[in-house]
Homo-oligomer: A and B are copies of this chain.
Amino acid sequence: MRRLVPAIADARSESDSTMNYLRNTWYAAAWADEVSRNLFSREILEEQVLLFRREDGSIAAVSNVCPHRFAPLDKGRLIGDVVECPYHGLQFDGSGACVRNPHPHGCGKIPPRARLKTYPTIERYGVIWIWMGWKTPDPALLPDYGWLEQPETYREIHGLCEVKAYYELIVDNVLDLTHLPYLHEGGLGVSKKDLEVENVEDVNEGDTYWCKRWSNGIAPSPDFMRFNPILAEFKCDKTNYVRWNAPSHVAIMPNYWKSGTDREHLTNLHIATMLTPAREGHTWQFWSLARNFGLDNDPLDEIMRKAARVGLEGEDVDIIEAQYRNMGTSDLFSLKLAALPGDITPTRVRRALQRMIAQEQAELAEIASQAHEVETEATA
């Protein structure tokens, strides 16, 4: 695949494997607190992206590869809002323009090809979101992680790890909660018994897919009572919803409500997972735990961070990386597998994503054929 639409330069030609990614969509590029006045780069969809904050705090995201001779710009210097290449000193601003050629021979003119590819970004929910496609970026396509902007109601911790697997396996993991009491010692609040009695509904609202699990009039699990002792005093309704938005943004929301009320909440926990493919078989996993209790309980942060390390970065990642090695492909549907009820939402989501990618590729082929016609006419 060659990118045809962007007018901006892209020194590195893209491999065919980029056809596996949805491009006109938002990916998490970094936690907002990772991007500062230091040059910082991350591989995203097989492109090297340089991120920094301008002096006014706004975010710049440009290619990390100098169009002169491929030097990595993050090894250079940030001077005001300008990046100086570490190798021969070309200077670029956050719009990708080369603003200085320090070499006077040849008149010090800016070479025409000295432009960096730029990436639209939005800073939202404590995340820098990046748009890797060719269409006009659409903020309405951002998934809703509203609780990450309500510090008065939710206290949050977050982290990042690299998983050596294709991102869809991580999406499967989150969307099929039947794994909780098997993979995780203690079950993260879900026992094998719980699984058997709960109600399940797999639904979608447009492109938002849900797997909703709930039980009414139950005693809360001992794990959650430990996190939030108030639970011990009530009979509860429990909901455990998971949600997916394209391309790879999920949330698990295990919540306890006071039984018999109109969802008066007792304990809400929101686990967000945003996945960003680095390259084939390497995925950045951004995770966040937000709770509506213990808002001034500092030690609880560390307890929850440890739980995330053990469960999410440990047990889940171990099994997901082993799955990926065992599959030997990222195409699950090419393999004949046994099906279980927990697969319903993961399977729908995989198919929805496939449809989106196929449609995007079709649009791209259309653009390419039009470009070809124009060229043919021009040379006729």
Contacts and interface: CB of A to CB of B under 8 A. Distances in A.
A216 interface: no
Interface string A57-94: 00000000101111110010000000011111110000
Interface in A340-363: 340-342
Contact of A71 (B86, B200, B319, B335): B319
Contact of A195 (B102, B114, B196): B102
Given A12-B328, A341-B106, A85 B182 contact: yes
A327 B70 CA distance: 7
A150 interface: no
A323 interface: yes
A43 B335 CA distance: 20
Given A172-B69, A192-B102, A338-B67, A318 B88 contact: no
Contacts of A113: 336-339
A328 B48 CA distance: 12
A92 to B, nearest CB: 11
A297 interface: no
A342 B105 CA distance: 8
Given A322-B72, A323-B70, A342-B103, A88 B196 contact: no
A299 interface: no
The count of identical subunits is 3
A376 interface: no
A326 interface: yes
Given A102-B192, A111-B339, A339-B113, A326 B86 contact: no
A182 B90 CA distance: 10
Contacts of A13: 335
B101 A337 contact: no
Given A12-B326, A196-B104, A322-B72, A88 B342 contact: yes
Interface residues of A, number: 57
B86 A340 contact: no
A179 interface: yes
Nearest to A111: B338
A228 to B, nearest CB: 28
Contacts of A69: 172, 323, 337
A297 B326 CA distance: 46
Interface string A1-38: 00000000101110000000000000000000000000
Contacts of A327: 12, 70
Given A71-B326, A111-B338, 11 more contacts: A11-B336, A12-B326, A13-B335, A68-B340, A86-B183, A90-B338, A102-B195, A103-B195, A104-B195, A113-B336, A113-B339
Q: Lowest 6 A-B CB distances belong to which pairs?
A: A105-B341, A106-B341, A113-B338, A114-B338, A111-B338, A70-B326
11 contacts: A9-B336, A12-B328, A67-B338, A68-B337, A70-B326, A71-B322, A75-B318, A87-B183, A102-B195, A106-B341, A113-B337
